[in-house]
Structure 1
C-alpha cells in the first residue's frame, strides 16, 4: 500500500516539477518582454541615468526571482513532505493563504496568479448537466424550496443547464443549485417532473427508439416518436410489403374469376345453388333478395 502511495506521490512530484519549469519559462518570456519594452522606451524618450537604470532592472529581476522561488519552494515542500511520510492524511497541506501572502508581497509577478488559480480549482466539484421538461418553463428560486416565492429567474422548456450542488428533499425531490448563478430549481414535485439529468446522446437516441409515443412525447416533446429513423424505416418496409401482398391478392382473384369452372358455374341455369352442399330452395329464396349477385 505504501509503495503505491510513493509511486503516486512521485508522479505528483514530476508533474509539479514540470509545472515549475513551465512557470520559469513564462517568467523568462516576461523578462524578455520587459527588456524589449525598456529598449523601446529608451529609444523614444530621453535616456535616463545608466547606473540608475541598471540598479532598477537588477532590483526588479531579483524581486521576480524571489517571488517565483518562494512559490516553487512551497510547492516542492508540499510534495517532498508527502513522499517522506507516505501518509497523505497526516502530511501538511499547501495552504492557499501562503501563496496569497507571496502575491501580496510581490504583486508585480503575474506568474504566481496561475498557481493561485490551480489551487483554487483543484478541489472544485464537477458540474452535472440537467434539462428542463416543464412546458411553460420553470421559475428559479433564491432558496431550495418548492413554494413560488423569491423568484429570481426562469428556465425555458428544453433548456440544458449545469448544476453545482444536488440537495435531496422530500418524496424524491432533488433541489439543484445552478452552476452559473445563485438560484435553485428542483427535479420533481406533486405536479410532475420538472427536470431530468442529461445522459450521453447515444443513450438518449437509443431510449427514444425503444420507447413508445406517449413516453417519448412526455419527456422529449412532440416529434420524438415520428422522427425516429428506425421506426420510419420499419413503416416504409411495412408499406412495401402491403403493396406487394395486395397486388398478389388481386392477381389471384382475377385468375380465379376468369377460370372455366367458375364461368360455367355462373352460366348454369340453377344459378348459385348447384352441387351437393347447397339446398335448391335456399337458392331460390336468396335469388329474389339478391338478383344481381
Structure 2
C-alpha cells in the first residue's frame, strides 16, 4: 500500500450503534486504497457487516466521517448517488439482492436507475454478464437459478454499476470447491480490469491465498497489513476467533526443519506443496 496516496474510500474516527444497543464500532480509522485485493476478517459480531454498510452508504456513521476521494460524503440524494456509483456492496445471501423477473432485468436495474442512455445500459449489462460468465443466463428467471448462479447474478448487478470498489460479504459461502475457484477467477479478472475488491470471509486460508492485504477486526480495533504476514500472527488470530492459516503454518514448519530457505515463498495451496515436494 502507498500511504501517501489518497484512499478511494475511508472511515475517519467512525462509530456506530444500532438503536437501543451498545456501540458496534468506535473510533474506526479504515481506508481502502486503489488497486488492492483486501480480505476483511473477524469473529461473528465483530462489526464486519456494519463496517461494510458504512463504507457503502447503507448506514451513516453516528460519529466521525466517511470520505470518498478525500471528501466527506454528503448523505443527501446527490451525495449517496456519487458514493454508490463508486462503491457497491453485495450481501451474503443473493436472495436479499435479486428481485427482478430475469437476470438481465435485475442486472440492468442499477444502470437504468442512474438515468443512463439505453445503449450504455445495454453495454454495461453485456459487460457484467460476460465478466461473471453468465451470458447464457441472460433470460433465465432468477428464481430458477442455482445458488452459485444467483451469487454471480447478484455480483453482476453490482459490476454493472461500474464501481471502483466492490465489497463482497462472504461471496464463497455455500459454494462447492469448483464454484469457489470459478468465483475467485472472476474476482481476479475484475481486479485486473481496475476494480478494487474487498471480500469479507471467515476462511483464513482463502484470504492468504487471494488477498494482497487483510484487515482483522479485534476487540481493540482493526489491524491492517499484508495478508500473509498479518494472518501468520497466532495471538491476533486467536483474539479474533480465527484459526491459523494453512500456508504460513506449513511454511514455518518447513523453515524450522531446514527444508525452505528464509525469504523463499512457501507453498500457498496443497497442490503447490505436492508440486514442491
Higher relative contact order (CA 8 A, sep 6+): 2
TM-score of the aligned structures, taking structure 1 as reference length:
0.20
Larger radius of gyration: 1
Q: Which has the higher strand share?
A: 2
Name the TM-score, length of structure 2 as normaliser: 0.21
Higher helix share: 1
